[in-house]
Structure 1
Amino acid sequence: MAASASGGRDWYAALPLPWRTDSLGYVLRSIGAAALALGLGLYLQLDSPFSAASTVLLLINPVQGAVVGKGWWRAVGTLIGTLAAFVLTALFAQKMLLFVVALGFWLGLCVGVMSLVRHFYATAAVVAGYTVCLALGPAMVEPEAAFEHIVTRASAVIVGVCCLSLVTVLFSRRTVSGRVRQRLVSLCAATLALVAARHAGAADGELERRRRTLAGEVYAVDDLLGVGRAESRVLSAALPAIRGGLAALFSTLMEFRFAGETHWARRLAERGLALPMADDLRLLGGQLERGELDFAGAARRLASLRGRLAAIRRGLPTDQADACREGLFMERLDEQLDDLQAALRGFAWLDGRARADVRPAAFHRHYREALRNGARAWLAMLVGGALWFLSGWDQGPTLLAVLGPYCTLLAASPFPAEGTRNFIRGTLYAIPAALLCKFLLLPLINGLPLLLLCLAFFWSFGIQATTVPRRALQGIAYLIAFNTLVATGNLARFDFGDFANQSCAWVLALCISLLVYRLLPKDLERHSASLLDHLRRETLALLRRRAGFDAHAWQARQQHRIAQLGALHGMEHPRSALALRLGFVSLQLGRESRRLWRALAGLDPAAAEARWIERALRAIAVRHRDPPLAARHARRAGARLAAAGEWRLAAILTDLAWLLRAYSQSVSSDGAQHGEKTS
């Protein structure tokens, strides 16, 4: 009996619910915005007023910034797509085959651009692509009505965006700015604790694991920034500074330990500096986390700590090898603190307390993957067009109109095929729901209030599904398919044959999308190998450094590649560990190269030491494809400088040679592991 009752409860728990207590406000806001958009579309007598409600249901999000930002850029993308639709109609209205090819080319171009840009810019790019499909699908068989279809589509989107933005701004709270600040404080406090452990000489596996975990979390904040910039003017104005601060914070975590570094950490402890400084850093992190200090105050406190370290470094003799080595160790610690201070100054823009110089925050752009995504979208349109022409099916325009969004929305996703299967499931849920609503309930309804109440009941299930991450795509597909198949308008049409044909077109379009994702699959291993190849090539570009080389932008791009590699496999994956080591060595090579160039700039060009360093740098640039041989040149120059008593310069070149050998070993290890995987 108890088992039967338990089974009954499990069955009840498995049922989809229209809302939960914690999501009731979000569901009601979304229903209200969709109802307002539909009512306004009916009042304006749009040809497809349900499209305004569909726009709302596609954009719904619990976060105000996501709604406003995506809505604005969706409107921008729609206007761009509208202009493109007019151009394509003017050029190819009487040439159906060229029309489909050009439509696919435009869609592929927009998907390629979407793959290269970030956040809401990507939204605008992809919307500009599939707006043409939605606007011109019906116009392909009725070219004389193209203008009306295009304007109607744009009007419906603008109405939907305005209604959802209005309801969201009036009935939801701004939460992203606080979350961004809290996350930045947490990251800075954890980083201060790690730097304190390094100052104290700690070096165990747990610290290394925490460092990798933190490094993986830094760039995740950028997604919050993309959402929050539409919610807060302060956050939008501070965005470049915060991104520069994130790059500096990532650089703080990417420090590389040299051989024998533990010895110099002990020497620092013997001077009575390491433990007090470590305690000060821990105290600073605690005060920042408890809110006793803001970012600007923490940056000032860190500057005073750096001053103490610099005073001790200046007091070291310059004519002793050990003292120069110890000074170089302190200099690297100071560089780590400098990166952390730059991060705090960048984050201080949130408090309006600082206007420091903004570090560049460059991002890696994967052009080959963008080309592949664009080709996939173009192929999908060609397959859909061929199926339409060969079959002569009257739902060909619907097929292309549905295919446009579904073959593009998931193009940049790591697992687009799985996402498309979720779209199919959501559509299969929507078809019987739309059948029930359109043919059994709507004929019994009279008046707008009852119509909205009936639709709201069906909408609520899909809206609630969007609050569950694993069902979000199913919920979106359900909402859009249901709303389009019911096709609420000023004139009710109950044509079961047309409904069945449209339902088949929806499912077939999704199957074509799944097919092209199978034909041109998203290969994470290939993407990972491409990122590693970019890491190696950019490291070689560093070694053959030429005029116009932007070291800070180079470092920011390398850091973004490292973060992407960690996100692909997880920071604890063996492949990620090797990739991270390669990235660490690459970044440290950049730091040591900049240190050597700065030292060279301070020497007399006619001095023998300057000539030896220039000769070594030229040899490294020539032999950049052979790091062990380049390391030999650096070591030889270091030996000459040591014989001349230039211990600091000799130490820099010796460490540079050690890094070149470490880089060569990392490349060999990664190549061997990749070879084992492919075999």
Structure 2
Amino acid sequence: MTLGFDRARLPFTLRTALASSLALLVATLLHLDSPQWAAMTVWLVAQPTRGLLLEKSLYRAAGSVVGSAVGVGLVLLTHGHVGALVVGLVLWVGLCAGVGNVLRHFRAYGVLLAGYTAALVVLVDLPHPDHIVGIAGERVLAVLIGVAVSALVSGLLVPNANEDDIRARLRQITSDTLRWSAAVLASALKVQDERSGLTEQRRLLSELAILEEMLDPQTAGKINSRISLRTVRALIAALLSLIAATLSAAGRVRRGARHDQAVLQTLATDLSVIADRLEDADVAQSLVRLRVALAGSGGAVHVALEALLQAVEALVSRKDTPARHARFALVFHRDWVGARAAAVRSMVAVGAVGALWWLTGWPYAPFMMIGTAVMSSLFSSFDDPLKILRFVLIGSSAGAASAAICHLWLIPLASSNVQAALLVVPFLLLTGVAMAHPRTTAPSLDYAMAFLLLVVPVVPVHGTPVQIVSGSVAAVAGIAVAMLAFRFVLPVDSAQRLRTLMEMTINELEALAGQDSFPHPTRWRARLYHRILRLVRRLDLVQGQGVAQPVTAIGGGVATLPVGEAILRLRHLSVRPDLPRTVRRRVEVGLKRLSMLSSRPLAAAVALEKAAASLMLAEGGATLDSEVLRDGAEALREHQSFFHLAQR
């Protein structure tokens, strides 16, 4: 660092500031009434890699077009009637906030943007509803100018994301997981306590969660990416399955289940050797040895290793994973609970300000409503929006003050729009400098957004000093309203999102046991894999907040796999026509207990154990079915506190 500045970040922020200034000047030369929108776009699409810049620019353009069209439609349909406009905006912003919270990455950004863009189009120039089509067209044109300038200035200079980093991390995490699996199996065969491996298991799951999260950003904007996302996610799912299968195999050995110990010992040795060769980047020999290991293995570990082999081969050959291994995929977790809360919260916040406007006719309420619409929807997908909005309020307040200074004392000095734009440029350049300093990074972008939203670099200046200051204060007040909504209307933070994720996972297990219709096992596993990854990632964010002990929560998340497999096995047994009556009764009781899993996890474990014992008696010994049921019972006993979370 130099003078406290981040030397690695400073070129990026200064380049963004220059691109923003250039976009402002281009839009001014094209005689747009609100050229600052082009400058805003540059800041909003700025990204450290070319692919991210391209993809975010496309979604910003699409969101702007859709939002502007909806804004125009609302004005034309309501004929500018305040009450009808408020109702329309409340419904649209709420809808976009809800949908945006079940999508991922820049798709979510595009939908959220479409929501508040309609508010911006409708409310900024409300006194001129007859010009709404032209106003919306100018907004879209300004966005396209900002995208184009950003692509020319930044896109040619920023690097592409390095996919080799993903490949290296994949090789390392695969090697580490195989080595961990070998160690756990070896410990079980020696009847040792493998709890020393819990820390490593926790680290492996955390690394898998981080790796999955970085896939979209690393491959964004690349049509011909060398990495197949489906293949990488199949590999991640196979590694998760291997972790769960290893724990189950070790548990069976410890409780005295019949196993060919020589086969397991050989498998443990093979996995250790394969891990060493992968770490040395000897992928070809690793694959050969893995094929040999598969010939002597069996059970769930064999299935996971086979999928692992297929995924690694696909990555090496740069081909997609075979369709027959679709079982090992990731179906994205959708936070429908959070989406409903986001929709309701945005509607309440925007509706409250809209009602104030409608009932009082306060002329600055539209500015307040804009701030509320933007903040209540855009930040609804953040893990801890209230914490971030504190910095937003600081930055936006400073930006609003700077905009008022420009309007009152600087822009009146200009004799043309170009001169007015040039007077604004120093503020943008200073923002670029501030973004590279650790103390001012957090509020800098919000400073730029509030400044550009409120400043209008055209002459003559529109509005009296009282009107200018009042508009700035109202916009900042809108942010405060959004903060109140996040605090009191369906509050949300990282801890709450983690609890919701746990509850959704456990509730789905109960539905799997209790409902006549249930998801296909392949799809259920694929979604559960991703939920475990999200659980791990959220736990990383809330450590130290007293939500749950890391080992307890992570272990419980992994335990949902054997519990779910036990439920699926019970459902399979329940439709067997040759099942003895006594076993069928135990199976039905087991399903009933598991349908109330969160209230009495120990009772569900006992029911599984009795069903397994009854099945063993009927079959004349342990079978794969009975061992799967015992795996589920053991997981429930070891992680009772986790499965009680839904009741809390």
TM-score (norm 1): 0.81
* Cα deviation, residue 393, structure 1: 3.1
Q: Deviations over 1:638-665 (max 9, x none)?
A: 11112xxxx5xx2323323423433543
> Which runs of structure 2 are paired with 1:244-255 in the superposition (5 Å)?
244-255=234-245
Partner of 1:36: 22
CA contact (8 A) 1:65 1:176 kept: no
> Within 2, Cα distance between the matches of 1:305 and 1:550?
30
> Within 2, Cα distance between the matches of 1:269 and 1:469?
57
Q: Structure 1 residue 568 and structure 2 residue 538: aligned?
A: yes
Match of 2:303 among 320, 325, 335: 335
Number of residue pairs aligned between Structure 1 and Structure 2: 625
Partner of 1:582: 556
* Cα deviation, residue 599, structure 1: 11
> Within 1, Cα distance between the matches of 2:640 and 2:574?
31
Partner of 1:637: 615
> Within 2, Cα distance between the matches of 1:438 and 1:89?
29
Match of 1:277 among 270, 278, 281: 270
> Within 1, Cα distance between the matches of 2:401 and 2:145?
28
> Which runs of structure 2 are paired with 1:75-114 in the superposition (5 Å)?
75-114=61-100
> Within 2, Cα distance between the matches of 1:549 and 1:636?
27
* SS of aligned partner of 1:116: coil
Q: Structure 1 residue 302 and structure 2 residue 328: aligned?
A: no
* SS of aligned partner of 1:83: helix
Q: Deviations over 1:278-325 (max 9, x none)?
A: 44222233123xxx437xx75454223212x24xxxxxxxxxxxxxxx
Q: Which moved more, 1:406-415 or 1:119-128?
A: 406-415
* Cα deviation, residue 543, structure 1: 4.0
Partner of 2:599: none
Q: Which moved more, 1:662-671 or 1:414-423?
A: 662-671
The residue type paired with residue 353 of structure 2 is G
* Cα deviation, residue 154, structure 1: 1.7
Residues 468 and 632 of structure 1, relative CA distance in 2, 3 Å threshold: farther
Partner of 2:220: 230
> Which runs of structure 2 are paired with 1:54-73 in the superposition (5 Å)?
54-73=40-59
Partner of 1:370: 339
Match of 1:427 among 370, 381, 396: 396
TM-score (norm 2): 0.85
> Within 1, Cα distance between the matches of 2:639 and 2:272?
38
CA contact (8 A) 1:246 1:343 kept: no
* Cα deviation, residue 215, structure 1: 0.9
Q: Structure 1 residue 198 and structure 2 residue 212: aligned?
A: no
* Cα deviation, residue 421, structure 1: 1.1
CA contact (8 A) 1:193 1:285 kept: no
> Which runs of structure 2 are paired with 1:640-679 in the superposition (5 Å)?
640-642=618-620, 647=621, 650-665=622-637, 668-670=640-642
> Within 1, Cα distance between the matches of 2:372 and 2:162?
34
Residues 543 and 377 of structure 1, relative CA distance in 2, 3 Å threshold: closer
CA contact (8 A) 2:384 2:493 kept: no
> Which runs of structure 2 are paired with 1:54-453 in the superposition (5 Å)?
54-201=40-187, 204-235=194-225, 238-255=228-245, 256-257=247-248, 259-262=251-254, 268=261, 273-274=266-267, 276-288=269-281, 292-293=282-283, 298-307=286-295, 309-310=296-297, 330-345=298-313, 347-348=315-316, 352-353=318-319, 355-357=321-323, 358=326, 359-437=328-406, 439-442=408-411
* SS of aligned partner of 1:26: helix
> Within 2, Cα distance between the matches of 1:592 and 1:674?
20
Q: Deviations over 1:329-377 (max 9, x none)?
A: x5243234234324424544xx625553354321222222211111111
CA root-mean-square deviation: 3.7
CA contact (8 A) 1:130 1:404 kept: yes
CA contact (8 A) 2:404 2:469 kept: no
Residues 27 and 574 of structure 1, relative CA distance in 2, 3 Å threshold: closer
Partner of 2:598: none
> Within 2, Cα distance between the matches of 1:599 and 1:89?
60
> Within 2, Cα distance between the matches of 1:468 and 1:118?
29
CA contact (8 A) 2:434 2:444 kept: yes
Q: Structure 1 residue 535 and structure 2 residue 520: aligned?
A: no
Q: Which moved more, 1:611-620 or 1:420-429?
A: 611-620
Identity of aligned residues (%): 23
The residue type paired with residue 290 of structure 2 is L
Match of 2:474 among 505, 510, 514: 505
The residue type paired with residue 333 of structure 1 is V
> Within 2, Cα distance between the matches of 1:481 and 1:272?
64
The residue type paired with residue 22 of structure 1 is A
The residue type paired with residue 630 of structure 2 is W
Q: Which moved more, 1:524-533 or 1:551-560?
A: 524-533
CA contact (8 A) 1:417 1:514 kept: yes
Runs of 4+ in structure 1 displaced over 6 angstroms? 263-267, 445-453, 545-548, 593-601, 609-616
> Which runs of structure 2 are paired with 1:3-18 in the superposition (5 Å)?
none
* Structure 2 unmatched ranges of 5 or more: 596-602
Partner of 1:319: none
Partner of 1:323: none
Q: Structure 1 residue 52 and structure 2 residue 38: aligned?
A: yes
> Within 2, Cα distance between the matches of 1:241 and 1:634?
37
* Cα deviation, residue 266, structure 1: 10
> Within 2, Cα distance between the matches of 1:469 and 1:200?
48
The residue type paired with residue 302 of structure 1 is L
Residues 544 and 339 of structure 1, relative CA distance in 2, 3 Å threshold: farther
> Within 1, Cα distance between the matches of 2:455 and 2:9?
26
CA contact (8 A) 1:250 1:559 kept: yes
Q: Deviations over 1:176-196 (max 9, x none)?
A: 423333332332232222123
The residue type paired with residue 221 of structure 2 is E
* Cα deviation, residue 47, structure 1: 1.3
Q: Which moved more, 1:297-306 or 1:420-429?
A: 297-306
Q: Which moved more, 1:113-122 or 1:513-522?
A: 513-522
Residues 662 and 126 of structure 1, relative CA distance in 2, 3 Å threshold: same
> Within 2, Cα distance between the matches of 1:108 and 1:199?
51
Residues 653 and 192 of structure 1, relative CA distance in 2, 3 Å threshold: closer
The residue type paired with residue 653 of structure 1 is D
Residues 544 and 404 of structure 1, relative CA distance in 2, 3 Å threshold: closer
CA contact (8 A) 1:620 1:634 kept: no
The residue type paired with residue 531 of structure 2 is R
The residue type paired with residue 244 of structure 1 is A
> Within 2, Cα distance between the matches of 1:400 and 1:155?
24
Q: Structure 1 residue 556 and structure 2 residue 549: aligned?
A: no
> Within 2, Cα distance between the matches of 1:594 and 1:463?
56
> Which runs of structure 2 are paired with 1:594-605 in the superposition (5 Å)?
none
* Cα deviation, residue 70, structure 1: 1.2
Q: Deviations over 1:364-420 (max 9, x none)?
A: 222222111111111111222233345533223222223221221111112111111
Q: Which moved more, 1:452-461 or 1:191-200?
A: 452-461
> Within 2, Cα distance between the matches of 1:181 and 1:446?
57
